[in-house]
Amino acid sequence: MALLQIAEPGQSAKPHQRKLAVGIDLGTTHSLVASVRSGQVETLANSRGEHLMPSVVRYLADELPQVGVKAQAHLVDDAANTVMSVKRLMGRGIEDVKRLGESMPYLFEACEQGMPLINTVSGLKSPVQVSADILRALVQRGESSLGGELVGAVITVPAYFDDAQRQATKDAAQLAGIQVLRLLNEPTAAAVAYGLEHDEQEQGTIAVFDLGGGTFDISILRMEQGVFEVLATGGDSALGGDDFDHEIAEWMRQELQMPTQLDLAQLRFLLRLARWGKELLSDESSAELSFEGWPGDATYADLELTREHMNRLLDPIVSKALRATKRTLRDAKVTVGDIAKIVMVGGSTRSLLVQERVAELFQQPPLTDIDPDRVVALGAARQADVLAGNQSGEELLLLDVLPLSLGLETMGGLVERVIDRNTPIPVARAQEFTTYQDGQTAMAIHVLQGERELVQDGRSLSRFELRGIPAMAAGAAKIRVTFQVDADGLLEVSARELTSGVAASVQVKPSYGLSDGQIADMIKASWTNVEGDRSARSLREQQVDADRLVEAVTIALAEDGERLLTAQEQQGIVHQMEQLVIARNGQDHHAIAKQIEVMAKASDTYAAMRMDDSIKRALAGKAVDQL
């Protein structure tokens, strides 16, 4: 007797068929796509057997753009239309890219939202569009390799990507027609690739050392019974394979006494030669650098670069990475001895110097079993397989963290933190605020990011207004502001007045945001300026208190000062108020606090008189039985 297969309404007639999902590592220099096939996770190759796809797009006048190896071949002869390292532009504004120097030799224009647009023969292209072209090529490779349409993808991002950069990545995926199952932090993906969450012997604290082409990230993760918790993240944008290449290229330029100013083709020739030599020296003790085909009139002799000399050139850069690593260990409140394993990520960790210095710091050899170029994509593919429903009982709990604190602007230009940095996400936090003036019916809500105490030193994320607040005395209204950060690190802020129920909200989707380096700089600035920030915050708080007291006493004197006080008593209060205004306009918060105390004592008797007078007037003309 044959079995009859029955499908539930709305379910596939083949309920056991695997859903096709991929993990995508959208990298600065190279990108990869990976998937789980026949129970094994693997990166997917193109028709030529190449797994790594250069993150390069070349735009043509009347043809579809070239992506990958074909585009990379034109970095020198068609530099203005061949875009590389676009990941460094994601979430940035036009002013940011002007500081990137010669490594971004494109013709930029700004759009209304401030996003940088690249002027090509195919028209203006935003970083989101360029990234979408790269993602589209990766998806096509995935569908071709897997033989069907994808249900979605897990896309990895640096742990330091802020809300704007994550949103830009999601926008690029949407433009490419990809369903994003999740944005996954690159360090977490690397740990997943090693399967550390399933190995009972590897439970504990893990360091993920991610040195890629354009950025350096260090993350400290704790893993226990399948739960990934990111304890702290750190990094430095002035580190990466690109910086190694520039250091070697500058050495070549000086050795051969080349002009200080090279044209774009010559600069890229040097960088390409530097990269070739660097990669060769991972296996060899010396490399011959040939200048045959130099794009210029001059001719130059070949150079020999030894591994020992290269290590001397690169050691200061590696030392910066190790300093950032030590800071992140302090943030995570762990010591070197607490680290069970070190996972190496990124092509630049192939450098023997990097591996030796990391082993020296952590007093144990790092894990290098998995190709550091592929490890992130492999981890993303494992998570994609889970989220697609192919491993319903094996879902991992991934607890990433916020890279920077989130808060609101309060009176006096101060920042009130609502969620601290390194808080695990997803997370929701609420805090109650109130009105500053009598009869206030609206409140402007300014959402900020950063570690500093003053609004002027933070990063503005969004503004919105809550209107319809019932007119009440200052301080009587109760406004609850709620911050919600989802698993992708995207933020929504809502505000509600509790007595009336009026509400407003905003999904924070700025057109561009911070680079990983700016985030690192903001954290460093918060450490450097901690004492100054505390003093500035205290000064602003005392100034706000002084303003409130002066305003309240001024209104009271205008209403009944002459009726309740003698001229001498009025003059005494006014004199103290004038002294408070003088102190308030100074820079000594201790002097302001002292004068507030003096002013409060001077007006206490008057306040009591006003209270008695108010009660007498309320009772005037009423019989006892009416009370």
167 closest CA partner among 206, 127, 219, 216? 127
Query: Residue 518's pLDDT band (boundaries 50, 70, 90)?
Result: very low
CATH number 2.60.34.10 given to 402-528 = yes
pLDDT > 80? residue 510: no
On average, the pLDDT of the chain sits at: 80
Least confident of 124-138, 150-164, 181-195, 509-523: 509-523
Nearest CA-CA partner of 236 in 352, 327, 165? 327
Cβ-count burial 526-558 (b if 16+ within 10 Å, e if not): beebeeebeebbbbbbbbbbbbbbbeebeebbe
Closest CA to 517 of 187, 160, 242: 160
- What is the distance of C-alpha 553 from the center of its chain? 46
The mean pLDDT of 63-67, rounded to a whole number, is 90
Answer for the pair 149, 143: CB distance below 8 angstroms, yes or no: yes
On whether the pTM is more than 0.75, the answer is: no
The phi, psi pair for 360, rounded to 5°, reads -65, -40
Q: How far apart are the first and last CA of the chain?
A: 92
> pLDDT band at 102, cuts 50/70/90?
very low
Give the pLDDT score at 495: 83
State the DSSP string of 399-446.
Answer: EEE-SS-EEEEETTTEEEEEE-TT-EESEEEEEEE--SSTT--EEEEE
Residue 53 pLDDT exceeds 80: yes
Pairing status of strand 459-467 against strand 424-425: unpaired
| pLDDT over 90 at 110, yes or no | no
- Output 580 or 395, whichever has higher pLDDT: 580
Give the C-alpha distances (Å, rounded to integers) separating 454 from 30, 105, 461, 540, 553.
39, 36, 15, 9, 28
- Does pLDDT of 447 surpass 60? yes
Reduced to 3 states (helix: H, G, I; strand: E, B; else coil), residue 155 is: strand
pLDDT-derived band at 4, boundaries 50, 70, 90: very low
* pLDDT at residue 172 greater than cutoff 50: yes
Instruction: Place 479 in a pLDDT band, splitting at 50, 70 and 90.
Output: confident
Q: In terms of pLDDT, which residue wins out, 83 or 17?
A: 83
224 vs 84, more confident: 84
Q: What is the pLDDT of residue 5?
A: 42
Cα 348 to Cα 324: distance, rounded to the nearest angstrom: 16
Q: Domain residue spans in the chain? A: 15-194+372-394, 196-369, 402-528, 531-619
Q: What is the pLDDT of residues 292-302, one digit of tens each?
A: 889 888 889 99
Phi then psi dihedrals of residue 467, to 5 deg = -115, 160
Q: 186 or 458: whose pLDDT is higher?
A: 186
CA distance 383 to 613: 71
* Angstrom distance (rounded) from CA 145 to CA 168: 27
**Which of 3.40.1160.10, 3.40.190.10, 3.50.50.60, 3.30.420.40 is the CATH number of 196-369?**
3.30.420.40
Q: How far is Cα 287 from Cα 281, in angstroms, rounded to an integer?
A: 7
Task: Centre a 10 Å sphere on the Cβ of residue 612 and count the other Cβ atoms it contains.
Answer: 11
Query: Which residue would you say has higher pLDDT here, 30 or 593?
Result: 30
Listed in sequence order, the residues at least 6 apart from 435 whose beta carbon sits closer than 8 Å to its beta carbon are 443, 469, 472, 474, 475, 476, 477, 479
Tell me the C-alpha distance between 354 and 411, whole Å. Answer: 48
In 109-142, which positions are buried (b, 16+ CB within 10 angstroms) versus exposed (e)? eeeeeebbbbebebeebbbbbbbbbbbbbbbebb
> Quick check: 382 and 22 in contact, CB under 8 A?
no
Is the pLDDT reported for residue 430 higher than 50? yes
- State which fold the 531-619 domain adopts: Substrate Binding Domain Of Dnak; Chain:A; Domain 2 (1.20.1270)
C-alpha of 426 from chain center = 15
CB 86 within 8 A of CB 57: yes
Contact 136, 24 (CB under 8 A): no
Point out which residues pair with 493 in neighbouring strands.
Answer: 483, 506
Residue 115 to residue 108: CA distance in whole angstroms: 10
Q: Fold match between 15-194+372-394 and 402-528? A: no
Encode 577-599 in three state secondary structure.
HHHHHHHHCCCCHHHHHHHHHHH
Phi, psi of 84, deg, nearest 5: -130, 165
Going by the DSSP 8-state scheme, the letter that residue 5 receives in this structure is: P
Q: Per-residue pLDDT averaged across 100-128, rounded? A: 76
Average pLDDT of the residues in 441-450 = 79
Does residue 332 carry a pLDDT above 50? yes
14 has a pLDDT exceeding 60: no
Q: Taking the CB of residue 35, how many other CB atoms lie within 10 A of it?
A: 27
Sign of CA dihedral 522, 407, 328, 199: negative
Contact present, 342 and 364 (Cβ < 8 Å)? yes
Q: What is the pLDDT of residue 477?
A: 80
Decide if 29 contacts 54 (C-beta within 8 A): yes
CA-to-CA separations, 33 to 43, 175, 420, 445, 499, in angstroms, rounded: 6, 18, 34, 41, 52
Give CA torsion, residues 619, 623, 625, 626, to 10 deg. Answer: -50
pLDDT digits (tens, 9 = 90+) for 197-229: 545 555 688 899 999 877 788 889 887 766 677
pLDDT tens, residue by residue, 222-269: 877 666 777 888 877 657 888 899 999 999 999 999 998 888 778 888
Distance of CA 249 to the CA centre of its chain: 30
CB 265 within 8 A of CB 76: yes
pLDDT of 359: 95
Q: Can you read off the two tokens belonging to residue 373?
A: 């170029």
Secondary structure class of 235 (helix, strand, coil): strand
Question: In angstroms, rounded to a whole number, what is the distance separating the alpha carbons of residues 372 and 240?
Answer: 14
- To the nearest whole percent, how much of the chain has pLDDT over 90? 23
Q: What is the pLDDT of residue 516?
A: 45
What is residue 482's predicted lDDT score, i.e. its pLDDT? 86
Q: Which two tokens stand for residue 626?
A: 């009416």
Report the catalytic residues: 25, 87, 186, 210
User: Per CATH, is 15-194+372-394 categorized as 3.30.420.40?
Assistant: yes
Residue 514's identity, in one-letter code, is: L
CB-based contacts of 398-401 (< 8 A; 24+ apart in sequence): 398/184, 398/188, 398/228, 398/487, 399/227, 399/228, 399/229, 399/230, 399/424, 399/425, 400/159, 400/185, 400/188, 400/230, 400/424, 400/425, 400/487, 400/489, 401/159, 401/230, 401/231, 401/232, 401/233, 401/425
